[in-house]
Amino acid sequence: MDDIVLKLAVIGAAGIGAQWLAWRLHLPAIVLLLAAGFAAGPATGFLDPAADFGTAYRPMVSIAVAIILFEGGLTLNYAEIRDTSTAVRRIIMYAGPLTWGMAAFAAHHIGGLSWPTAAVLGAILVVTGPTVIIPLLRQAQLDARPASLLRWEAIVNDPIGALFAVVAFEVIMVYIGLHEADNLFVLIVMGAVVAVGGGWAVGRLLVWSFVRGHVPEYLKAPVLLATVVAAYAATNMVLEEAGLLTVTVMGVVLANSRIASLTDMRRFKETVTTLLVSGIFIILTASLSLEDIRSLDWRAAAFVATLLLIIRPIAIMLATIGSGATLQERILTSWIAPRGVVAVAVSGLFGTLLADIGVADAGRMVAFSFAVVVTTIVLHGFTLSPLARLLKLKKATRPGILIVGGSRWSTALAKKLTEAEVPVMLADQNWNHLAEARLASIPVYFGEVLSENAHHVIDPKHFSSLIATGDNDAYNALVCTDFGPELGRGNVFQIGRIDEKARQSLSFTLGGRALTKEPVSFHDLREKLLQGWTFQLTRLTEEYGWDAYESSRPEGALILLWIKPSGAIVFAATTANTPGPNDRVLSFAMPKDEARAEAASKTARKAEATPAAKTAKDPTPLPKGDETDEGKTQS
């Protein structure tokens, strides 16, 4: 027991450690997970999952794959597929069967596998794993269309590839006389109907129960998780691995429903999925034996090369003719097809089943699958971003800022950031508040940023920061709280935020950081704008450094941020560092000439305020506040 606990702890630590290291080094996380699994398994023998976990090993992997596919379905929203629906549909309907047939032919004639093993392997390699493609898309920063194309294909094709493998296996069983041919068609059709219909029905039932309040808020995520496992197991009783299709359909149904708490549930599922992907990749890689690896010869290498360089491009290019996808998108999709957890898990399952019925080379199927998985993960992981850049399919890499609130002050800020070539979007639910920004050709979002539609239209990945600039501090805090998990809580800001040290009764998880070191309210900023304050962008040099810049600022100037030569944005309120040469500093201050005039006016008022002057001019002085206001108006 202690040995199993230790190994589980090592799997967890190695998985999350690989994810963190990948984040720090900007590397594909899956590559490091594969390396960790190889080190724990074949290299050292520390892990032997089949022996360590016994009969629980296969069910454990299967349930994890089901949860991963369900979470993938939760990311598929119909709104984002409108432009690529034809291409996605054709890839699933035509490219999948084409890949199956050509991969099986190549596995037999090039890879040297028997027809039974080749047929099942060809079906399995239809899949393109979401566990791999989604982290790669997160790092590559693709445009919306190609990213949507790859994500939908990966998630929908995974259960379909598993079903293809079931069909191939059942045909083999009929061929060798273990199953009746009459029952084959009925079994497959019934399984597909139960999978799709059952997934839709269970998804709608969950939506109804959540919307009507039949499940308390704190139980929604646990109920969802338990229902996924139950639906997967129930469908598998009708047709092996059809449960993967059921849970994917459930995820899509929920993703396109109007559930207020769906965002929180999705975040919970993302956390669970990250843990599962990390652990499962290490476990499956560790399950390889050195004999499996040694069985890979030049014929296996030739098969993998044929799959990547010939079969996949032919299938995609033929399937997407006239689909509306651009040539660049078709080329990218033809190359990017990494396989992942589902391919390895399903190949392990059917490899065992084929071996049980006497297929001699069934064990080689797992090795071939791993060869494809490792090759595609490494090649596609390191080439996706450069290829997308070459094909001009990457979105703007410069970090942008989402500004919520269309006041005159925020519009002036958006204009100055646009002049500095910082991508900006201004959001407000009042059309008139966006008029000036629209005339200045600044991208705008008209509507409520907290709505479901906004989360589909406004892609948080386009922005590195958010500034809430409304006149309601509570609403600003709500916006920052909502976008905090997407952008990072250190990257959401609001005006008028109380000082961090003074937040005694307010939870630190609510709201955003203060935009300025000395918090300034909406009304103060509006008054300063009316008094003539402007946004000023100043480039520092070796000769004109930070100290000289600070001393030249008018009194009360607000330093908001500075832009590094690389385009990175540093907010002044978040750092103790100072900008350096070639940094451009954005401030909000009175222009220098007006500042000098105001300083002279203050000096004159001080002189007039001396006892002698007051006696000579007016024995009844104005109250101090009125005098200050009068001076401001004159300036």
In a domain, 338, yes or no: yes
In a domain, 133, yes or no: yes
Going by the DSSP 8-state scheme, the letter that residue 394 receives in this structure is B
Pairwise pLDDT comparison (462 vs 504), residue with the higher score: 462
How would residue 412 be classed by pLDDT, with cut points 50, 70 and 90? Answer: very high
Q: What pLDDT shows up at residue 472? A: 87
Instruction: Give the Cα separation of 580 and 396 in Å (integer).
Output: 25
Amino acid 80: pLDDT: 63
Q: Percent of the chain at pLDDT above 70?
A: 84
Shared-domain flag, residues 268 and 178: yes
Per-residue pLDDT at 365: 86
Q: 371, 390, 409: which is the final residue of a domain?
A: 390
Q: Where are the beta strands (DSSP E) in 327-432?
A: 400-404, 424-428
The pLDDT of residue 179? 63
Residue 473, pLDDT > 90, answer: no
The band of 66, judged by pLDDT with boundaries at 50, 70 and 90, is: confident
- The letter for the amino acid at 518 is E
Kindly state the average pLDDT of the residues 552-559.
Answer: 86
Q: Which pLDDT band, with edges at 50, 70 and 90, does 634 fall under?
A: very low
Lowest mean pLDDT among 45-49, 130-134, 623-627: 623-627
Fill in the amino acid letter for 409: W
**300-312 pLDDT per residue, tens:** 999 999 999 999 9
Q: Indicate whether 516 belongs to any domain.
A: yes
Tell me the pLDDT band of 332, cut-offs 50, 70 and 90: very high
Statement to judge: residues 210 and 283 lie in one domain:
yes
Q: pLDDT value at position 509?
A: 55
Q: Distance (Å, rounded) from C-alpha 258 to C-alpha 310?
A: 43
| Last residue in a domain, options 590, 605, 622 | 590
For residues 600 and 584, membership in a common domain is answered with no
What 12-21 contacts at long range (C-beta under 8 Å, 24+ apart), as own/partner pairs, is 12/275, 12/278, 12/279, 14/40, 14/278, 14/282, 15/275, 15/277, 15/278, 15/279, 15/281, 15/282, 16/275, 16/278, 18/278, 18/282, 19/274, 19/278
Tell whether the model's pLDDT for residue 501 goes beyond 60: no
Calculate mean pLDDT across residues 352-361: 82
Mean pLDDT of 186-193: 77
The CATH number of whichever domain residue 134 belongs to comes to 1.20.1530.20
Q: Is 315 a residue whose pLDDT tops 90?
A: yes
Statement to judge: residues 107 and 248 lie in one domain: yes
Q: Is residue 255 situated within a structural domain?
A: yes
Q: Note the pLDDT of residue 628.
A: 34
Task: Please enumerate in sequence order all residues whose Cβ is within 8 A of that of 482, keeping only pairs 6 or more positions apart, or say none.
Answer: 449, 450
Question: Of 4-18, 37-51, 123-137, 496-510, which gets the smallest average pLDDT?
Answer: 496-510
pLDDT category, 611, cuts 50, 70, 90?
low
Average pLDDT over residues 343-370: 82
* 431 and 342, same domain (yes or no): no
pLDDT given for residue 351 in this prediction: 81
Q: Residue 228: pLDDT band by 50, 70, 90 thresholds?
A: very high
Same domain membership, residue 215 and residue 105: yes
Better pLDDT: 619 or 548: 548
Q: Is the pLDDT of residue 101 over 90?
A: yes
Give percent above pLDDT 90 in the chain: 20
**Is the Cβ–Cβ distance between 251 and 231 less than 8 Å?**
no
Rounded CA separation 563/341 (Å):
41
Task: Give Cα separations from 204 to 66, 77, 94, 98, 226 (angstroms).
Answer: 19, 16, 29, 33, 16
What is the phi/psi pair of residue 132, to 5°? -100, -45
Q: What is the CATH number of the domain that holds 523?
A: 3.40.50.720
Least confidently predicted of 98-107, 398-407, 528-537? 398-407
| Residue 79 pLDDT > 70 | no
Boundaries of domain holding 93: 2-390
Do 363 and 275 belong together in one domain? yes
Q: Are 566 and 589 in contact (CB under 8 A)?
A: no
Tens-place pLDDT, residues 508-549? 457 788 888 877 888 999 999 998 899 999 999 988 998 898
60-82 average pLDDT score? 77
Lowest mean pLDDT among 266-275, 394-403, 613-622: 613-622
Choice between 499 and 40, residue whose per-residue pLDDT is larger: 40
Residues 495 and 614 in one domain: no
- When divided into structural domains, the chain yields a total of 3
Please give the residue that has the higher pLDDT: either 404 or 345. 404
pLDDT digits (tens, 9 = 90+) for 164-174: 888 888 888 87
Q: Any idea what the Cα angle at residue 489 is, between residues 471 and 561, rounded to 5°?
A: 65
pLDDT at 53: 85
Q: Is the pLDDT of residue 100 over 90?
A: yes
Selection from 89-103, 171-185, 248-262, 483-497 with the highest mean pLDDT: 89-103
Structural domain includes residue 395? no
CA–chain centroid gap for 585, Å, is 31
Q: Which of 97-101, 112-116, 288-292, 535-539 has the lowest mean pLDDT?
A: 288-292
State both tokens at 466: 């958010």
pLDDT grade, residue 374 (50/70/90)?
A: confident
Does 31 have pLDDT greater than 50?
Answer: yes
Residues 372 and 468 in one domain: no
| Average pLDDT score over the chain | 81
Indicate the length of the chain as a whole number.
635
Statement: residue 632 has pLDDT above 90: no
Residue 607: band (very low, low, confident or very high) from pLDDT cuts 50, 70, 90: low
pLDDT score of 506: 44
Our measurement of the distance from residue 458's CA atom to the centroid of its chain's CA atoms, rounded to an integer in Å, reads: 13
Could you tell me if 372 and 430 lie in one domain?
no
The answer on 449 and 344 residing in a single domain is: no
Q: Token digits for 33?
A: 């997970």
Lowest mean pLDDT among 217-221, 235-239, 341-345, 512-516: 341-345
Q: Give me 184's structure tokens.
A: 């084959």
Q: How many CB atoms sit inside 10 A of residue 211's CB?
A: 14
End-to-end CA distance of the chain: 80
176: DSSP letter: T
**Statement to judge: residues 220 and 298 lie in one domain:** yes
Q: What is the mean pLDDT of residues 338-359?
A: 80
CA 579 to chain centre: 31
276-282 mean pLDDT: 84
Report how far Cα 263 is from the mean position of its chain's Cα atoms: 13
Among the ranges given (182-191, 250-259, 371-380, 438-447), the one the predictor scored with the smallest mean pLDDT: 182-191
Is the per-residue pLDDT at 431 higher than 50?
yes
Average pLDDT in the 33-50 region?
86
The model's pLDDT over 559-581, given as tens digits with 9 standing for 90+, comes to: 999 998 888 888 988 888 889 89
